Amino acid sequence: MNTIVQPRRRVQPIVNIDLGLRELPIFKKLSEEEMLNVELNSVVKNFSKRSVIYREGSRHSGLYCVLKGIVKVYKIGGNGKQQILKFAQKGDLIGYRSLLTNELACTSAKAYEDTVLYHIPQHIIMELFQQNWNFTHETMKFMCKELKESNMFITDIAQKSVRERAAEMLLILKDEFGVDKYNTLQITITREDLANMVGTVTESLIRVMSEFRNENLLELPGRKIVFRDIAKLKAIANI
Amino acid sequence: MNTIVQPRRRVQPIVNIDLGLRELPIFKKLSEEEMLNVELNSVVKNFSKRSVIYREGSRHSGLYCVLKGIVKVYKIGGNGKQQILKFAQKGDLIGYRSLLTNELACTSAKAYEDTVLYHIPQHIIMELFQQNWNFTHETMKFMCKELKESNMFITDIAQKSVRERAAEMLLILKDEFGVDKYNTLQITITREDLANMVGTVTESLIRVMSEFRNENLLELPGRKIVFRDIAKLKAIANI
DNA sequence: CGAACTGTTGAGAGGCTTCAAGCCTAGTGG
DNA sequence: CCACTAGGCTTGAAGCCTCTCAACAGTTCG
């Protein structure tokens, strides 16, 4: 039996090639030279399901870009209850806010599935911002998208009922994560987390989901969510 | 009596000098040359109290910067009810989102007092973004501030009671608009609008305000709001 | 000075939360 | 591979918070 450990240096570049970085909107704006410099300085990080990526109040050394998996971004309210702000997925940026303002993180992030993130150090990102307007513009557009969604969400949560918000949130999840050929939602989410997105308690969310099931708008086999009548859900959501 | 109208070309630069543009954080980052180019292409616009600055769904031809007065930025919910997202004041930027994404406005804006805005056309702003990283960075920081506030607000509105949110909103208004030596809040706001900020109906907001008055936390002479016990308000707001 | 708007309070209804109890199921360890 | 257990899911009952509707007082402004 050979006990000599083989060197594994060649693994790193091979991994990079498979990441498909260049296909993400944000990286498409970089020149080949810039991209190589990013790759030279960035790290691929794996997070297993449920592991914490960062916590509210921590300091970030760079920017995360989601390559694979799903990240739950949330805030903890005064009573310890989570408010989920978004589920980030492939191509989404997280942790950019505190990078730009040099403040501490105002949200927490957790891997919702086994997740692969790309961590780009702060100085590389800031360099790119200064050099490459297209890259900066793309980032700003991403920020604008989040601002728009926040504004819509504030209005909804302030004015709509739990039933309306639940219907709307299901449709948003459908848009973001898609469905398979049986109309099964392609993210597995606990009732508690769905409640934490909608901004209610688990019991209320479950009651609304049961209503939807009884009205033949959804099927709920196990933890799956199957859409049966999207038009009616849209009508309920009032969108 | 001399009926010849005197030329008034000199008025324009004199007005500009008095605007104090260079003292605003956002313009401090511009070189003298850039600032002159901005001034050459921008327009000062006056809006009288209650007049509409832009509406949800309209297209913007540039960016507004508030020079004087207060602007109410809001969304109309499905039932026609306003949700106030912010009150913008001196130095704040409005309408930048649709400028960056080329989308239609997703909010409406109204002058809450007689207001002076500085309107900078889109191409000038985009040029500055490309040329001057410090200016872009300052704008991005402004966006980050709004994102952070949005996230906090979503969490609060989803988890706190009307009483807690009302206390918090009063304290936020105090921070943003200040108080005079009698602790009188330096913005006059209707109960309805306060309710539209807090995310409740007018009657509920009034009941909470009356509670605060009965508990000697506030005085409410006419439309003024006088703070009597900020520490207790903070305790109620849970911040 | 009157009309229109804003502010205030009461009563009642209903949506949502809380507390409680039991079932289900997914993942772990033997 | 199965049994076990912790965590997720579900429903019921009770009560509270908030909204709705209504009536009227106060204030502002043409």
The span from the CA of A189 to the CA of A112, in Å, is 9
Q: Where are the beta strands (DSSP E) in chain B?
A: 43-47, 52-54, 62-68, 71-76, 82-88, 93-94, 108-111, 115-121, 218-219, 226-227
Instruction: Select the residue of B83, B130, B137 nearest A159 (Cβ to Cβ).
Output: B83
Nucleotide nearest to B204 (CA to C1'): D18
Distance from CA of A75 to the nearest CA of B (A): 7
Confidence of residue A10 (pLDDT cuts 50, 70, 90): very low
Find which of B144, B160, B196, B239 to mutate to test the A interface (most A CBs within 10 Å of its CB).
B144
Q: What's the whole-number average pLDDT of chain B? A: 91
- 3-class secondary structure, B83: strand
Distance from CA of B159 to the nearest CA of A (A): 7
Q: What's the whole-number average pLDDT of chain A? A: 91
Asked if residues B48 and B116 have their Cβ atoms less than 8 Å apart, the reply is no
**CA nearest A77 in B: which residue?**
B155
Asked if B192 CB < 7 A from strand D, the reply is: no
Residue A29, pLDDT > 80, answer yes
Distance from CA of A194 to the nearest CA of B (A): 13
Q: For A177-234, what is each residue's pLDDT tens digit?
A: 999 999 999 999 999 999 999 999 999 999 999 999 999 999 999 889 999 999 999 9
Residue A5, pLDDT > 70, answer no
Residue A169, pLDDT > 90, answer yes
* B156 contacts A101? CB cut-off 8 A: no
Question: Stated in angstroms, how far is B228 CA from C7 C1'?
Answer: 21
Nucleotide nearest to B159 (CA to C1'): C17
For a pLDDT cut of 70, what percent of chain A falls above it?
92
Asked if residues B143 and A143 have their Cβ atoms less than 8 Å apart, the reply is yes
H/E segment holding residue A67: strand A62-68
* A151 contacts B147? CB cut-off 8 A: no
- Sheet with A52-54: strands ordered across: A52-54, A108-111, A71-76, A82-88
The span from the CA of B208 to the CA of A53, in Å, is 40
Question: Stated in angstroms, how far is B231 CA from C16 C1'?
Answer: 30
Tokens of B196: 């539209």
Which DSSP letter does residue A22 get?
Answer: G
Q: Which residues pair with B108 in a beta bridge?
A: B74
* B129 contacts A156? CB cut-off 8 A: no
Instruction: Select the residue of A77, A101, A148 nearest B159 (Cβ to Cβ).
Output: A77
Q: For A59-100, what is each residue's pLDDT tens digit?
A: 999 999 999 999 999 999 988 899 999 999 999 999 999 899
**CA nearest B97 in A: which residue?**
A144
* A157 contacts B154? CB cut-off 8 A: yes
Contacts of A137 in chain B (CB under 8 A): 100, 129
User: pTM for this one?
Assistant: 0.91
Q: Give, as ranges, the nucleotides of chain C with any atom within 7 Å of a protein CB.
A: 6-11, 15-20, 25-26
* A129 contacts B159? CB cut-off 8 A: no
The full set of domains in chain A, from first to last, is 19-156 (2.60.120.10), 161-237 (1.10.10.10)
pLDDT in the model for residue A239: 84
pLDDT by residue for chain B (239 residues), tens only, comes to 444 444 443 334 444 446 789 999 999 999 999 999 999 999 999 999 999 999 999 999 999 999 999 999 999 998 889 999 999 999 999 999 989 999 999 999 999 999 999 999 999 999 999 999 999 999 999 999 999 999 999 999 999 999 999 999 999 999 999 999 999 999 999 999 999 999 999 999 999 999 999 999 999 998 999 999 999 999 999 98
Asked if A215 CB < 7 A from strand D, the reply is: no
Asked if A207 CB < 7 A from strand D, the reply is: yes
Find which of B74, B140, B205 to mutate to test the A interface (most A CBs within 10 Å of its CB).
B140
For residue A57, the tally of other CB atoms under 10 A from its CB is 10
Is A235 in CB contact (< 8 Å) with chain B? no
